[in-house]
Amino acid sequence: MKVALVQQKVRPTRQENLDESAAGIRKAAAQGAKLVVLQELHAGSYFCQTEDTSCFELAEPIPGPGTEFLGALAAELKVVIVSSLFERRAPGIYHNTSVVFDSDGSIAGKYRKMHIPDDPGFYEKFYFTPGDLGFEPIRTSVGTLGVLVCWDQWYPEAARLMALAGADLLIYPTAIGWDPRDEDAEKERQREAWITIQRSHAVANGIPVLSVNRVGFEPDPSGVGAGIQFWGSSFIAGPQGEYLAQAGQENEELLIADLEPKRSEDVRRIWPFLRDRRIDAYGDLVRRYRD
């Protein structure tokens, strides 16, 4: 199966961003991709750099205008699309939600981001209610997708639970970057850590990982912070963590790779991590910390 990631920069308006995403999806479909993944909050800027109640106006219901636009595109091109939208669930309840469209344009399922960060430049707890749909893979015409979002990618528990529930691959729409004031060595440590932890999820679970990040500089609208330089570096890794494709750090790119579903089973036969788990001894994992 051919899969694709759309790594893009932000445009001035919502429609321009959606049109750019659509252009990437069309290009991927023309090259034979059956699954196309978009970056986190692809319809606009990463607005969480500051706390501003006016940003809640950017949210939309699901289903809504964004899902109608992407659903029609999925049906037209006969591809599965993994999107990332700012969901307005109810007054005062908003989520960072990934919506998956099947190749007939229907909504196959959605995932609400579970781990919500609250750090300088990433004030997501102000905007997003933690997800309540659990770690449930989404079944589509191209396979069962373990969709997680950005901050979720640092947690091996999330990846494991998706794998145990039958995910054929793990997918991480992402918006992550550097504080421009950091030293180059620190920047590279952060980027390498981000790549390494996700490749480790592929290895530990014996399934591919698809991670797509935005790229380019986005200033802090409040003028307080230094803005974020999103580092791109989107990649597709196989079930042993091997690179199948990797994008650069500065430019918009369409990343395409071929996945062989049988390879995951072959890898799990030689590295049977799921077989050898000591589930009888892992009870303390449900504790915050073992004092």
List the catalytic residue out of 87, 113, 124, 253. 113
| Contact of 52 with 160, CB cutoff 8 Å | no
Our answer to whether residue 150 is catalytic in this structure is: yes
Give the pairing type, strands 253-258 and 235-237. unpaired
Our answer to whether residue 2 is catalytic in this structure is: no
Q: In which region does residue 16 sit, left (phi positive, over 0), alpha (psi from -120 to 50) or beta (all else)?
A: alpha
| Contact of 159 with 204, CB cutoff 8 Å | yes
Over its C-alpha atoms, the chain yields an Rg (Å, rounded) of 18
- Letter string b/e over residues 118-152, b meaning 16 or more CB atoms within 10 A of that residue's CB: eeebbbbeebbbebeeebbbbbbebbebbbbbbbb
Our answer to whether residue 183 is catalytic in this structure is: no
What are the residues whose beta carbons fall under 8 Å from the beta carbon of 206, sequence distance 6 or more? 163, 239, 240, 264, 267, 268, 271, 273, 274
Rounded to whole angstroms, how far apart are CA atoms 77 and 86? Answer: 24
Structure tokens given for 56? 């809640």
List the catalytic residue out of 48, 55, 60, 150. 150
List the catalytic residue out of 40, 87, 124, 253. 40
Q: Which residues are catalytic?
A: 40, 113, 150
